[in-house]
Structure 1
Amino acid sequence: MIKIMLAEDHQVVLNGIKLLLESQPDLSVIDYGKNGNEILAILKNGNIPHILITDINMLNMDGLELISHVRRDYPTIKIIVLSMLNDLQLMLQAFENGIVGYLVKNVGYEEMLFCIRQVAKGGKFICEEMSTLLLDNFRRSPSAFQQVDQIVEKIGLTARELEVLQLIGEGFTNMQIADKLFLSKRTVEGHRQNLLEKTSVKNTASLIKYALKNGLIQ
């Protein structure tokens, strides 16, 4: 059972997230708070989750400050940001503060659940909207490319994985890729995970960066 704590000051959003997570047999929302101070008080009482999902903009103590406190005092807790803000600089700052996942609030429920489970297994995750923004930035200043054939042979990518990688680089969601390639969404998720493992990167943004740097996608 993955124990989750929520930091969210909008009651409607909080209730929606709780309802989604508690519908899953492997997820449990053990507590929640409306700001960083409330979360720290809960943690101080010994109620420690596996994952903290926090907003950024909150009164009294915002998400970035909360992240710093949690990473310092409770290093076993994995932190995911769930924010209205699709701001790359803010996201990068949050990762520097110690988060392992970043989602925007218009994310689909399947992507949110995939993120939570990926993080619980020790991985990192950036939602597709933010990955696309990162891709646009990378394309403005591409690195020198190595020979594609050498890279493909070295890491053992299949033709199907290269197809999925190209579509990821074009910003398509797992469901859209599944529709285009006549595959199930679960199969596409499996290819995405294989790509992460074969390229030894932790998240989609790093995968895209790797692929661009090495000429695997244009």
Structure 2
Amino acid sequence: MTAAQTSFHSLPGSDSVEPASAVTARMWPMHMVGQQGQPVRVFLADDDCHIRRVIAQDLMSDVRTLLVGQAGSLREARKNICLQEFDVLMVDLNLGDGEGMELLDLVRETLPQVLSIVVSVTERDDKVFQAFDKGAVGYLLKNSWFGDYSQAVLQVANGGASITPSLAKKMLSRLDKTYATYEKSAPCQQDEKLSEREVEILKLIACGYNSPEIASHLKISTLTVATHVKNIYRKLQAHTRAHAVRAATLRGIL
């Protein structure tokens, strides 16, 4: 549902109405990231002013997300990113004066706590996997994205991944072939072992727990959980939680 399609619900005992996003926010579980008064902060970099406006309206219409900055070029983004505090970067891969991949590198190296979502028209396999290799946890195709942007932000902020369904299907098909090849060669490979804590976290992920729930269960910070998850991804050569669980299963870790 886009900002232009915002629906309204009647308030009990009143003739007035409130936006559906406000109703959803009131029902949002307290343990989830993105509460009223503490929204997920987003920085947006896209050279298409129309797309920026659409995304901005969607984010600002939901009290659980907040757009704190935006840029229309690589140069502007590099300059302003360092001046803002934010939780999620939404970035196009083509910024006119450069590539969004540079911003993924910048965020990964200088702001490791920030999560990145690519919003692009590009669906080339090499670009998609390169983006995930550079730390992206979401990839939305502009031409086929039919969800809402605030939901994508909330999904990654709470330990998930947000990928356009058609693209996810293609990625899984390719990964199935990759894992089939790995399964045959795995016994001959010497892999970096997961620590006891990483295995513990991976088991909780396999049971469906998100990052805040894992942090609460283990009595550690969500940032510490995020660091462990990144190490798990690196050691298992995985890009998403589902892929990490599957890779661990194939290796006999789970």
* Superposition TM-score, scaled by structure 2 size: 0.55
CA distance in 2, matches of 1:104, 1:50: 21
For the Cα contact (< 8 Å) 1:126–1:205, is it kept in 2? no
The CA deviation string for residues 166-197 of structure 1, in whole angstroms up to 9 with x for no partner, is xxxxxxxxxxxxxxxxxxxxxxxxxxxxxx64
The answer for the alignment partner of 1:133 in structure 2 is 170
Q: Which amino acid aligns with 2:55?
A: I
Which among 190, 207, 210 is matched to residue 198 of structure 1? 207
CA distance in 2, matches of 1:130, 1:10: 22
> 1:28: Cα distance to partner?
0.8
For the Cα contact (< 8 Å) 1:125–1:203, is it kept in 2? no
The answer for the alignment partner of 1:30 in structure 2 is 68
The answer for the alignment partner of 2:127 in structure 1 is 90
For the Cα contact (< 8 Å) 2:65–2:150, is it kept in 1? no
The CA deviation string for residues 100-136 of structure 1, in whole angstroms up to 9 with x for no partner, is 21111121134x4332112112333322111111233
Q: Which amino acid aligns with 1:107?
A: W
The answer for the alignment partner of 2:52 in structure 1 is 14
CA distance in 1, matches of 2:54, 2:112: 28
Q: Judging changes above 3 Å, is the alpha-carbon distance between structure 1 residues 109 and 11 closer, same or farther for their aligned structure 2 residues? A: same
* Superposition TM-score, scaled by structure 1 size: 0.63
CA distance in 2, matches of 1:21, 1:67: 21
Moved more, 51-60 or 113-122: 113-122
> 1:141: Cα distance to partner?
6.6
CA distance in 2, matches of 1:125, 1:17: 15
CA distance in 2, matches of 1:202, 1:137: 13
The answer for the alignment partner of 1:61 in structure 2 is 98
Q: Judging changes above 3 Å, is the alpha-carbon distance between structure 1 residues 73 and 142 closer, same or farther for their aligned structure 2 residues? A: closer
Q: Where does 1:203-214 land on structure 2 (aligned, <5 Å)? A: 203=240, 206=243
For the Cα contact (< 8 Å) 1:2–1:27, is it kept in 2? yes
Q: Which amino acid aligns with 1:198?
A: C
- Name the structure with the higher helix share: 1
Q: Which amino acid aligns with 1:130?
A: L
Q: Which amino acid aligns with 1:38?
A: E
**The structure with more radius of gyration:** 2
Q: Judging changes above 3 Å, is the alpha-carbon distance between structure 1 residues 75 and 137 closer, same or farther for their aligned structure 2 residues? A: closer
For the Cα contact (< 8 Å) 2:137–2:162, is it kept in 1? yes
The answer for the alignment partner of 1:77 in structure 2 is 114
Unaligned runs of 5+ in 1: 145-195, 214-218
RMSD of equivalent CA atoms? 3.0
> 1:41: Cα distance to partner?
1.0
For the Cα contact (< 8 Å) 1:123–1:202, is it kept in 2? no
Which among 19, 38, 47 is matched to residue 84 of structure 2? 47
CA distance in 1, matches of 2:70, 2:84: 11
CA distance in 2, matches of 1:141, 1:203: 14
> How many residue pairs end up in the alignment?
162
Matched residue SS, 2:132 = helix
The CA deviation string for residues 130-151 of structure 1, in whole angstroms up to 9 with x for no partner, is 111123334557737xxxxxxx
The answer to whether structure 1 residue 99 and structure 2 residue 108 are counterparts is: no
CA distance in 2, matches of 1:132, 1:209: 16
Q: Judging changes above 3 Å, is the alpha-carbon distance between structure 1 residues 121 and 138 closer, same or farther for their aligned structure 2 residues? A: closer
